[in-house]
Amino acid sequence: MITLALSKGRIFDETLPLLAAAGIEVLEDPEKSRKLILPTNQPGVRVVLVRATDVPTYVEYGGADLGVTGKDTLIEHGGQGLYQPLDLQIAKCRMSVAVRNDFDYASAVRQGSRLKVATKYTAIAREFFASKGVHVDLIKLYGSMELAPLTGLADAIVDLVSTGNTLKANQLVEVERIMDISSRLVVNQAALKLKQAAIRPILDAFSNAIESNAVSS
């Protein structure tokens, strides 16, 4: 049995076409079912639904053989011990710094002021501001980062941006792009060896599907 860990929402939705390319069809809709283990049309393949940030943990410890997870999650929670063979080019976004549109970020940075930065991504934020030589006080949040500059909790946030609509709706502006983000396939090291015959064709099908998407877009 091959177990694939996915999180509900964009990662699940955007992985479906890749699975289809490998001949795998998930037989239940996670938005309708309450099941956490979803069967597929292939008796030897199942999908488990976990929180996005738990995907690396499931795969590392063998609760799943394969998983799909954002580069943000891999950097923040560690991808050590995971084989990362493919950038799937899905769930694309960017990690950025944003501030209130009336906040003079350039001057604050130039004057060497201490910035208060709220984020769920403290490792990425710490590393980014350290590399710029900007002093920061990091405030760890678990969601709704956009609220922090509006309430005076922080001067800036570090968060994922895709369309930019959420920032705009909250009078925030993107002032720096830290890195581009997409989702990766991660594979349990032992499974890769022991279940090669089952895993290899999935990797190949995914990789061909990514290539033809790249050609057509």
By CB under 6 A, tell whether 166 contacts ligand PRT: yes
- Please state the closest distance from residue 70 (CB atom) to ligand PRT, in A: 2
Of the residues 64, 172, 181, 199, which one makes contact with ligand PRT according to CB under 6 A:
181
Q: How far apart are CA 33 and CA 23, in angstroms?
A: 22
- Please state the closest distance from residue 90 (CB atom) to ligand PRT, in A: 9
Give the three-state DSSP class for 149: helix
Output 101 or 196, the one with its CB closest to ligand PRT. Answer: 101
- Please state the closest distance from residue 14 (CB atom) to ligand PRT, in A: 9
- Please state the closest distance from residue 160 (CB atom) to ligand PRT, in A: 4
By CB under 6 A, tell whether 131 contacts ligand PRT: no
Of the residues 2, 3, 4, 7, which one makes contact with ligand PRT according to CB under 6 A:
7
Structural contact between residues 118 and 146, judged by C-beta atoms closer than 8 angstroms: no
- Residues constituting the chain: 217
Give the three-state DSSP class for 32: coil
CA-CA-CA-CA dihedral for 79, 83, 84, 85, to nearest 10: 180
- Please state the closest distance from residue 181 (CB atom) to ligand PRT, in A: 5
Structural contact between residues 85 and 192, judged by C-beta atoms closer than 8 angstroms: no
Q: What is the DSSP string of 152-204?
A: TS-SEEEEEESSSHHHHHTTEEEEEEEEEE-EEEEEEHHHHHHTHHHHHHHHH
By CB under 6 A, tell whether 10 contacts ligand PRT: yes
By CB under 6 A, tell whether 164 contacts ligand PRT: yes
Neighbours of 107 (CB within 10 A): 9
By CB under 6 A, tell whether 165 contacts ligand PRT: yes
Tokens of 170: 């909250």
Q: List binders of ligand PRT among 34-53 (CB under 6 A).
A: 52-53
Tokens of 86: 């493919």
By CB under 6 A, tell whether 15 contacts ligand PRT: no
Q: List binders of ligand PRT among 53-82 (CB under 6 A).
A: 53, 70, 72-73
Binding site for ligand PRT (CB under 6 A): 7, 9-11, 52-53, 70, 72-73, 91, 93, 159-166, 181, 183
